[in-house]
Structure 1
């Protein structure tokens, strides 16, 4: 049992912070309020004069799939031999003992949505995990939360000598497999219990059934405006749920994206323009989109930006004009909504996981120190165990 006493609560739901206590039991927040009774035997953390936040959440990254400090041996975020690989599952590539996890947890990043990279038109499914643990199965918040797809330069560059040399090819390949998956799903459903009428098992097409049923979204990597619109066009054609990832040129098409009302994950912005489609990168993007009413998450795309710098990225967006509360939501409740896990994480509310970060100042500022981090109500240790 954990009792955080007399801290300034930033719950990521209400714009104004308030002084209160937090009681957590069995990994969940049980109560938040003033002058709560301290149960016998509770671990008491005196937060007087300190700031209390929900654990920070990453909506899009590859931590644990790209080994820290190693090369090819640790690169498990792309299947490089197959441009269409929806059957890949991010959970199967995560290395929980990777050195990047304790760094993330110590900085207050307590939950991450991780999965395949963007070399392929279809890369596989993302999973959401806590940043503390030794076995990935025990770290999972929810598995198979989205299906990664990619537009733009990456599939063209990786497969230019094989199967993809234009943006039209990328779109056509995605449409083709979606058509096949829809036909496969309909045949399965029409066959009912008659095994003789069922189509031959196809693991790729099976993996796309949750997408076609709108159980999970396409998680669409797209930087350039034209690629964002192509992703939205295909989602409409097949009546799919979709989230847009990176959205580098989002500030150029704010009004159009606001009309679409789909979740947006913006970043990584703390990098150079390493390719043509990043030439319009700007820290103003998340703030302009949020001000227009879009649901915005700020992302590191770790390890492109080290995972522990997620709060710093929010601070740089504030420096560029983003409302501070919108920036807080962009690394807490919005990425939780983006990944479909807002019932568990992303805000300080009774019933949610007791992922709590206590600091001596605003986490957006480099001078701020993280004093305590709790994941599922347990203090993390330097090796990221609980």
Structure 2
């Protein structure tokens, strides 16, 4: 006998919110008769998808639903892969203005041995808010948000990022990849930190000339290079079997990125900085992706030729640079996509992670194909992070991270009705919803209070 899950107005009125179900490991779920947006293999009309043991076990139009499965009737509904925030501080930052609630960065500039995994707070209020809007997994990365979306945290080796599901009592339950990438903050070739950047007066850089900024930039890149030289020598000494090598945990972890042994996410924005990153990566044979990439349009062809993906930050922001067009943030995703650059969207944030789909949607209005926008928050970031064999699309064998909606999840009017993470129905209750429930019934008129 199959049991059917129905989300009704009556259920909501009774306090049972859609998706507010405690599921047990090993349960089988199915969504029947929905439109399935696989991302990888197109759209399946009137299709059925079955989840068991945390994985997608069947998908198609002629799928037999196992006995005992929990069934969601999908007529008029849509099923999409769960979205991924490709670079966030979810679980690492709670209230930006309260220092003790922020654990996204560490003292010092050289921290290749530190891992965001140790600092993630599973009970963060931001996680269920993001989850309720269809974000099912994220790369929680060290370094802080910072202005420019990708340039925060300053230059240096900021540590290792962790890929997590947005559900679980402990970080171990949430973990997908404990070490998903090494995060590096690239030096900034700029004398200014003002709204539009630039050099000289008004740029916030104390009137430094371009030559002075270039000298400072070169010094910082040389310092970065020294760390990689040391890591290479350390690796060679360890591999030689010498018993005279004192363990150095910083160099031990940094040496893992050499010879493309680990993904390296480099936070860089200006096109000159990105060119410098590419040169550095080729010298040390690094497997890189650019995070931020505000100035990437000027070297889009180079990025495409060298197969270097870009993790873009929010597009609803001010343009960077005095001579940058007003529409630069909006049109950049489309320009990179047309040039053949792999793009993924990210929020570089915690409280704003829920807005991820709308960043992608905004780019559609400025030239990015709608299918590419959806892919940029599902399968593309999975490819960038090397987990596309497990996540990012609706395919048999992949982890059961998916959402059931009443429309396109990139549209702000769309309701996310059910969220599945690791093949289980996840709770969509969150602080935003609780506050809405609390205040929607407030008295329209308050009685005057008289004091004596």
* TM-score normalised by length of structure 2: 0.78
Q: CA deviation at 1:278?
A: 11
Q: Say if 2:188 and 2:273, in contact at 8 Å, map to a contact too.
A: no
Identify which of 353, 359, 362 aligns with 2:405: 359
Structure 2 partner of 1:105: 131
Structure 2 partner of 1:184: 234
Q: Say if 1:114 and 1:127, in contact at 8 Å, map to a contact too.
A: yes
Distance in 2 (alpha carbons) for counterparts of 1:278 and 1:203: 44
Q: CA deviation at 1:15?
A: 4.1
Distance 1:177 1:156, change over 3 A: farther
* TM-score normalised by length of structure 1: 0.91
Distance in 2 (alpha carbons) for counterparts of 1:179 and 1:236: 14
In the alignment, structure 1 residue 330 sits paired with structure 2 residue 357? no
- Is the deviation greater in 330-339 or in 66-75? 66-75
Distance 1:214 1:190, change over 3 A: same
Kindly provide the CA deviation profile for residues 249-300 of structure 1, in whole angstroms up to 9, marking residues without a partner as x.
1223222221121121111222335x75996641111122112222110111
Identify which of 256, 267, 282 aligns with 2:329: 282
Give the match's secondary structure for 1:77: coil
Distance 1:178 1:269, change over 3 A: same
Map residues 185-334 of structure 1 onto 2, 5 A cutoff: 185-191=235-241, 194-195=242-243, 197=244, 199-273=245-319, 281-303=328-350, 306-334=352-380
Q: Say if 1:95 and 1:136, in contact at 8 Å, map to a contact too.
A: yes
Structure 1 partner of 2:423: 377
Give the match's secondary structure for 1:39: coil
Identify which of 125, 131, 136 aligns with 2:160: 125
Distance in 1 (alpha carbons) for counterparts of 2:42 and 2:303: 24
List alignment gaps of at least 5 residues for structure 2. 1-27, 144-152, 194-204, 206-212, 431-452
Q: CA deviation at 1:69?
A: 6.4
In the alignment, structure 1 residue 90 sits paired with structure 2 residue 116? yes
Structure 2 partner of 1:6: 33
Q: CA deviation at 1:16?
A: 4.2
Give the match's secondary structure for 1:345: coil
Kindly provide the CA deviation profile for residues 287-343 of structure 1, in whole angstroms up to 9, marking residues without a partner as x.
22112222110111123x711111111100111110111111100011011112112
In the alignment, structure 1 residue 171 sits paired with structure 2 residue 217? no
Kindly provide the CA deviation profile for residues 196-249 of structure 1, in whole angstroms up to 9, marking residues without a partner as x.
x3x111111011121014221221001110111111110001111111111111
Distance 1:369 1:98, change over 3 A: same
- Is the deviation greater in 278-287 or in 372-381? 278-287
Structure 1 partner of 2:391: 345
Distance 1:136 1:356, change over 3 A: same
Bigger radius of gyration among the two: 2
Q: CA deviation at 1:153?
A: 3.8
> What is the root-mean-square deviation in Å for CA atoms of aligned residues?
2.4
Number of aligned positions between the proteins:
374
List alignment gaps of at least 5 residues for structure 1. none
- Is the deviation greater in 14-23 or in 344-353? 14-23
Structure 2 partner of 1:24: 51
